[in-house]
């Protein structure tokens, strides 16, 4: 009570009169208003900070903060956004093989580090109640993360969400217990490593398309297997690989490529698409199987660093 009286006296002295200010209906009204104003000020001070400041303030994301600095992403994640960040803790980074983090922080590995960090970021403000309704989400990296619920816990790829909905001024943070890693091999290297696209890789080399399909893209490739090429007459393949038939081979191969990343769930909703070759391919679902022209799509959504591969069982020919 004495503090309120002193406050009234202080206000009176400041105004040059011992009478309460006209805005006060009683002698304790002004101190109450002051308290309310102070409370509002405190609420402003406690308003959510941006994603980077929130992570630093938490104290458990030191490695993440260092990685964001090394990748030059601090200003981006302090920007307007909004962003949804699946943030690995220091313990999550510690699960990586010894020396991995130190190697990623080197200037020469900035591109790889950026690819990994942006794979943890989804555009928009995606709260936990929305995350659990999704089976995947497109990241700033360009690739998708898989989302599923297992034993009552939300999983982002192979990481578990341990804390959700940390509000920030430009988005939201969900804490995860493992670092998630995007595909780091391009379309050509992915096809080579698969071991079932030997003829396709040979054809890509003969057509001079290696550098293109190792470029930034992104591309969606409907990749015929060796068995698919085996359906063609042997003389056809041999003829296509001759230098004088390079233009025809290029036309066939680029007919299997669509610009951008087109995932299986998007394919089945799309009646047709224009290929890099310029011609159109048609999509349909027949008997529960997705098809491109007269070829079955037998495996879908193989992620690569510069696109996505869908495996088909027949070589498709442009008109």
Residue 319: the pLDDT is 84
Under the banding of pLDDT at 50, 70 and 90, the label for residue 31 is very low
Residue 13: the pLDDT is 32
Mean pLDDT, the chain, rounded, equals 87
Beta-carbon neighbour count of residue 17 at 10 Å? 10
Residue 262: the pLDDT is 96
pLDDT surpassing 90 at residue 129? yes
Q: From edge to edge, which strands make up the β-sheet containing 171-176?
A: 121-123, 83-88, 171-176, 159-168, 153-156, 144-150, 136-138
- Residue 48 burial by Cβ neighbours in a 10 Å radius (0-12, 13-18, 19+): middle
pLDDT surpassing 60 at residue 189? yes
Percent pLDDT > 70 in the chain is 85
In the predicted model, what is the mean pLDDT of residues 153-176?
96
Residue 268: the pLDDT is 87
Place of tokens 């939201």: 172
In the predicted model, what is the mean pLDDT of residues 223-230?
97
pLDDT surpassing 90 at residue 18? no
Under the banding of pLDDT at 50, 70 and 90, the label for residue 135 is very high
In the predicted model, what is the mean pLDDT of residues 187-206?
96
In the predicted model, what is the mean pLDDT of residues 295-319?
96
* Contact in structure between 178 and 158 (CB atoms under 8 Å): yes
Under the banding of pLDDT at 50, 70 and 90, the label for residue 287 is confident
Place of tokens 């015929």: 224
Residue 48: the pLDDT is 83
Q: Which of 3.40.50.970, 2.30.180.10, 2.60.40.10, 3.40.50.300 would CATH assign to domain 187-312?
A: 2.30.180.10
Comparing 51-176 with 187-312, is the CATH topology the same? Answer: yes
pLDDT surpassing 70 at residue 186? yes
pLDDT surpassing 80 at residue 29? no
In the predicted model, what is the mean pLDDT of residues 90-107?
96
pLDDT surpassing 50 at residue 10? no
pLDDT surpassing 90 at residue 254? yes
In the predicted model, what is the mean pLDDT of residues 59-85?
95
pLDDT surpassing 60 at residue 32? no
- What are the C-alpha distances in Å from 213 to residues 15, 132, 304? 77, 35, 11
Q: Where are the domains of the chain?
A: 2-45, 51-176, 187-312
Residues in the chain: 319
Residue 46: the pLDDT is 57
Q: Is domain 51-176 annotated with CATH 2.40.440.10?
A: no
Residue 47: the pLDDT is 67
pLDDT surpassing 70 at residue 26? no
Helix (H) / strand (E) containing 41:
helix 29-45
Q: DSSP state, 108?
A: G
pLDDT surpassing 50 at residue 15? no
pLDDT surpassing 60 at residue 38? no
Q: DSSP state, 208?
A: T
Closest CA to 313 of 291, 294, 295: 295
Peptide bond before 102: cis, by omega within 30 degrees of 0? no
Strands annotated E in 177-274:
219-224, 257-259, 272-274
């Amino acid at each position: 009570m004495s503090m309120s009286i002193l406050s009234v006296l202080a206000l009176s002295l400041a105004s040059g009169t011992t009478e309460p200010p006209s805005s006060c209906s009683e002698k304790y009204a002004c101190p109450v208003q002051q308290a309310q104003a102070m409370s509002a000020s405190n609420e402003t001070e406690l308003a959510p900070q941006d994603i980077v400041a929130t992570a630093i303030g938490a104290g458990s994301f030191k490695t993440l903060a260092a990685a964001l600095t090394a990748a030059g992403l601090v200003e981006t994640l302090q920007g307007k956004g909004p962003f949804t960040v699946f943030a690995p803790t220091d313990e999550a980074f510690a699960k990586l093989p010894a020396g991995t983090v130190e190697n990623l922080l080197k200037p020469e590995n900035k591109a790889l580090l950026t690819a990994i960090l942006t794979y943890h970021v989804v555009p928009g403000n995606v709260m936990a109640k929305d995350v659990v309704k999704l089976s995947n989400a497109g990241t700033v990296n360009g690739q998708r993360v898989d989302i599923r619920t297992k034993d009552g816990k939300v999983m982002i790829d192979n990481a578990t969400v341990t804390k959700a909905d940390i509000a920030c001024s430009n988005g939201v943070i969900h804490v995860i217990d493992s670092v998630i890693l995007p595909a780091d091999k391009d379309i050509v290297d992915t096809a080579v490593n698969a071991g079932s696209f030997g003829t396709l890789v040979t054809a890509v080399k003969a057509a001079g398309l290696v550098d293109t399909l190792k470029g930034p893209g992104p591309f969606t490739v409907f990749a015929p297997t060796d068995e698919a090429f085996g359906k063609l007459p042997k003389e056809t393949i041999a003829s296509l690989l001759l230098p004088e038939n390079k233009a025809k081979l290029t036309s066939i191969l680029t007919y299997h490529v669509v610009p951008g990343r087109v995932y299986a769930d998007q394919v089945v909703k799309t009646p047709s698409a224009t290929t890099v070759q310029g011609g159109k391919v048609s999509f349909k679902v027949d008997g529960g199987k997705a098809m491109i022209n007269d070829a079955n799509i037998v495996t879908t959504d193989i992620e690569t660093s510069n696109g996505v591969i869908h495996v088909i069982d027949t070589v498709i020919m442009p008109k």
